[in-house]
Amino acid sequence: MRIPLLILASLLAACSDRNSSQLRTGQPGLSVARAALASGAPGVAANVAEKLLAQNPRDVGALVSRGDAAAALGRTEDAMASYTEALVIDRSSFEAKMGLGRLRLTSDPAQAQMLFLSVLEKQPRNAAALNNLGIAHDLQGDHTSAQNAYRRALGADPSMRGAEVNLALSLALNGQAANAVPLLVPLGQSSNASPRLRHSLAAVLMMAGDQEAARRILSQDLSPEQVERALLGYDALGSVAPVPAGP
């Protein structure tokens, strides 16, 4: 079960809860750290956050930004430590809960689920939390609950592409690949589709039984050997029986 779980986690799209209205330039400060993260410069964000924390070690926003930067740089333990420290200072910090939840999705999806639910208690229309909650459900095999969460995310933010992709993947995992394909084709075949999005479409096509179409899509980005390995992984995903939701 572990290999399919890792493959599934690589396909499902987690979303940041950053609000673009917060990303303002100006004097070095929290908004600069967030802007650096949004522009793909986590090293800059980390440096700004460290300077803020040198002035005020209990700055929750700076701790969260440092955690976000560490996560983007692949320093998972440092990110967890920053988010945890932020929550010790402010147990209600939804940004710290979101960050910690995203990190725990693959290692402990049940714990991640609890963190996202905690955010949703105060912010029931937080689309990112709903989308990530869906991922947590999918990774535990509860695809029905996952689909409900993705639909709620789309209700809160109809433009959230990640939730659209995740909904299609979840339907395919739940034996409804034929219904999932039409949801993903327009996204996966668009001129600006990312490799990750194309691979999600390939996974759904593979689970729908169209191996050749999946192979053609994967061949745009992968070597022949990588294509065959990916197809084997997607086939394994389709063979994992869904786990029914509890009462």
pLDDT tens digits for range 69-124:
999 999 999 999 999 999 999 999 999 999 999 999 989 999 999 999 999 999 99
Kindly tell me the sign of the dihedral angle through the C-alpha atoms of 211, 216, 217, 223: positive
Q: Is the pLDDT of residue 10 over 50?
A: yes
**Cβ neighbours around 154 below 10 Å, total:** 20
Which position has the token pair 């303002």?
Answer: 24
Mean pLDDT, residues 131-155 = 96
Q: Where are the beta strands (DSSP E) in 47-108?
A: none
* Residue spans per domain, the chain: 19-90
User: Which residue, 4, 70, 58, 69, is CA-closest to 33?
Assistant: 69
- At 18, the pLDDT band (50, 70, 90 cuts) reads very low
Give the span between the Cα atoms of 109 and 103, in whole angstroms: 9
Q: Which amino acid, one-letter code, is at 104?
A: R
Dump pLDDT digits (tens) for 45-72: 999 999 999 999 999 999 999 999 999 9
Q: Is the pLDDT of residue 182 over 60?
A: yes
DSSP SS3 for 208: coil
Write down the pLDDT at residue 187: 87
Write down the pLDDT at residue 16: 56
What residues contact residue 49 under an 8 Å CB cut-off, 6+ apart?
A: 33, 62, 63, 65, 66, 69
Which residue did the predictor score with more confidence, 14 or 210?
A: 210
Q: How many residues does the chain have?
A: 247
Query: Burial, 221: exposed, middle or buried (Cβ in 10 Å; 0-12, 13-18, 19+)?
Result: middle
Kindly tell me the sign of the dihedral angle through the C-alpha atoms of 171, 177, 180, 186: positive
Which position has the token pair 């995310």?
Answer: 153
What residues contact residue 62 under an 8 Å CB cut-off, 6+ apart?
A: 30, 33, 49, 52, 53, 56
Q: Is the pLDDT of residue 191 over 90?
A: no
Write down the pLDDT at residue 15: 67
Give the span between the Cα atoms of 120 and 170, in whole angstroms: 21
Q: Considering the entire predicted model, what is its pTM?
A: 0.86
Q: Is the pLDDT of residue 239 over 60?
A: yes
The overall average pLDDT reported for the chain is: 88
- At 27, the pLDDT band (50, 70, 90 cuts) reads very low
Q: Which fold has domain 19-90?
A: 1.25.40
- At 28, the pLDDT band (50, 70, 90 cuts) reads low
